[in-house]
Structure 1
Amino acid sequence: MTTVIDSPASLVTEAHLRQFQEKGFFVLEGVIPAAHLEMMRTACGNLIDQIDERADEAGRPRTTKYFFSVWDEPQGANPVKDIAREQIRQFVFSDLMAEITRSLLGDDVYLSYEQFVVKAAEKGGTFAWHQDSAYVPAKHDPYLTCWCTLDDVTEENGTVYMLPYDRAGTRDLVPHTKLEDDFDLVGYRGDDPGDAVIAPAGSIALFSSHVLHRSGPNTTPRRRRIYLPQYSSAPLLDSAGKPFYIAEPFLKDGRRVG
């Protein structure tokens, strides 16, 4: 089954497209529907509860930086994730995301990756300067990261900072090194602090996988929650030619699939 999307992309303006081309990113404030925002918050909370319970049962300390996906386990392996995945599908394959991704990627779009990124209250740590493409092992075209805010994001609670192409001095993928005692990759060690994304809950920061970005610590008494779907114009493959993570078709010839 295919669905034709008749209306032009009204959210993404010519000014947005120019900024994306020139700087590599832009922000759409408050565009996530309230029902989808609440659904993602609920799914996020249920999965964090499961992660914390497993850590407690194993006698491990609870993490301060949560990374978790809803697509990384097969159907039936984790009932909590099964429910969350069906909920999240409503957002990642929504009319809103069809408009946005078609505007920036063209008529063929795949869901290629997704995860929640949550910083614990008062102690959620930083993320070093990196490009998302550095984490994909095989050569690929730049893809689209959709940094969806489930909370208001501020400098105090660890928002993301973008380094525009002109200040980074490149649009290309740069060499990265691994931080000691962490899995973070680092692609920039300069002095530019970047441009902070200050936005209300329900916003989406859209940026190319070649844009250098970082985030600060969460010093507030509340969690900072982000949902991060990533889309590409062709499947992202690993070094063996297999899908790196997800390669689920979303748009084909401008029509929504599924």
Structure 2
Amino acid sequence: METNSTLGELVTPALREQYENEGYFVLENALSEKQLELLRGGAQYSIDRLDAEMDAAGVDTIGINHRGKRYFSNMIYQHRPELRTFLFSELTAEICRATIGEEAYLFWEQYVIKAGDPDTAFSWHQDSGYVHEDHEPYVTVWIALDDVTMDNGPVHLLPYSRSGVKSYVKHITDPVSNDRVCYFGSDPGMPMTAPAGSIVVFSSVVMHRSGPNLTDRNRRVYIAQYSKDVITLKDAPDTPQGATDPFLSEGRIVAEL
């Protein structure tokens, strides 16, 4: 598939400038109903897949996943190929062009689902903290599949002007939650509350956290991350760390649907 069309002024010059200066911007109600339902369709599958892995291993925790509490289920698009129509859409292409430029690869994809449980917070980190220091910052496309409120665990961002940081910093692993943590200050961050179908776009070096889900319903988020180049393992430069799907070349969509 190839196209060089744009959606117009979805990502305005002002939002581009905000991303450059502060590391993030928000697109409210950016998804169509069809796109929103498509992404919601893989949410339960992502939970069932991780529960099955925990059953097979006889555990209730795998990495940062905790049964019945919070799930980070990745690479679902490899099992649900219909998700490619969103991952490689003109919407995500416009976001990539505005943030990382005209060359882009899909680096990572995952559902982040928090059940109604007070023990579902996620610690301060940079997405780059789950990679390594030797890579160009990539972009995170954080999509609310449900209305995100202060009660169900919104993501909180520390813009560059508040963190004073625009690059990778060392993370420490929490021995209980397995979270990687990079900030221990008192700034609570900016809560990104938004209606379902909204997108929070932020750099992989923006510090962020999320609060617990204190409601009785799941809070579902879909995340896609895109990089300028294929990101490889630190000690194995010929081995990719995540996905390697080409998306944009000279600004044109080249991904196969």
Q: TM-score when scaled to structure 2?
A: 0.90
The equivalent residue for 1:117 is 112
Q: Secondary structure at the match of 1:188?
A: coil
Structure 1 residues 117, 7: closer, same or farther in 2, change over 3 A? closer
| 1:187, distance to aligned residue in structure 2 (A) | 0.7
Kept after mapping to 2: 8 A contact 1:150/1:202: yes
Deviations 1:187-207 (A, max 9, x none): 110000100001000111000
Q: Any stretches of 5+ residues in structure 1 without a counterpart?
A: 73-80
Write the letter of the residue equivalent to 1:126: A
Q: Which residue of 1 aligns with 2:152?
A: 157
1:220 aligns with 2:229: no
Quote the residue 1:32 is aligned against: 31
8 Å CA contact retained: 1:110, 1:248: yes
User: What is the distance in 1 between the residues matched to 2:242 and 2:12?
Assistant: 31
Matched, 1:127 2:132: no
| Matched residue type, 2:244 | A
Q: Give the match for residue 5 of structure 1.
A: 4
Q: In the alignment, which residue of structure 2 is the partner of 1:99? A: 94
Letter in 2 for 1:182: S
Q: Which residue of 1 aligns with 2:41?
A: 42
Decide which of 225, 230, 241 is 1:230's aligned counterpart. 225
Specify the alignment match of 2:72 in structure 1. 67
Are 2:133 and 2:168, in contact at CA under 8 Å, matched by a contact in 1?
no
**Root-mean-square deviation (CA), in Å?**
1.9
**Percent of paired sites with the same residue:** 43
Distance 2:139 2:251 in 1: 17
Deviations 1:136-185 (A, max 9, x none): 13501110001111011111100100001111112121121111222211
Q: What are the ranges of 5 or more consecutive residues in structure 2 without an aligned counterpart?
A: 61-66
Corresponding position: 1:192 with 2:197: no
Is the contact between residue 110 and residue 249 of structure 1 (CA under 8 Å) also seen in structure 2?
yes
Q: For 1:113, what is the secondary structure of its paired residue?
A: strand
Residue aligned with 1:181, SS? coil
The answer as to whether partners of 1:3 and 1:256 remain within 8 angstroms in 2 is yes
The alignment of Structure 1 onto Structure 2 pairs a total of residues equal to 247
Q: CA deviation at 1:7?
A: 3.2
Of the three residues 234, 242, 247, the one matched with 1:245 is 242
Cα gap change, 1:234/1:59 in structure 2, threshold over 3 Å: closer, same or farther? closer
- SS of 1:6's equivalent? coil
Judging changes above 3 Å, is the alpha-carbon distance between structure 1 residues 109 and 50 closer, same or farther for their aligned structure 2 residues?
A: closer
SS at match of 2:165: coil
1:9, 1:100 within 8 Å by CA — same for their partners in 2? no
Q: Is the 8 A contact 1:9 1:103 kept in 2?
A: no
Q: Which one-letter code corresponds to 2:171 in the other structure? A: H
> In structure 2, what residue type is equivalent to 1:147?
W
C-alpha separation in 1, matches of 2:153 and 2:86:
24
Distance 1:4 1:139 in 2: 32
| Alpha carbons of structure 1 residues 178 and 52: separation in structure 2 relative to 1, 3 Å | closer
3-state SS, counterpart of residue 4 of structure 1: coil
SS for the counterpart of 1:5 is: coil
Distance 1:58 1:134, change over 3 A: closer
Equivalent-residue separation in structure 2 for 1:15 and 1:128 (angstroms): 30
What is the DSSP-based 3-state SS (H/G/I as helix, E as strand, rest coil) of the residue aligned with 2:25? strand
Is the 8 Å Cα contact of residues 111 and 230 (structure 1) preserved in structure 2?
yes
Three-state SS of the structure 2 residue aligned to 1:3 is coil
Cα distance in 1 for residues equivalent to 2:173 and 2:20:
29
Answer yes or no: is the 8 Å Cα contact 1:147–1:206 preserved in 2: yes
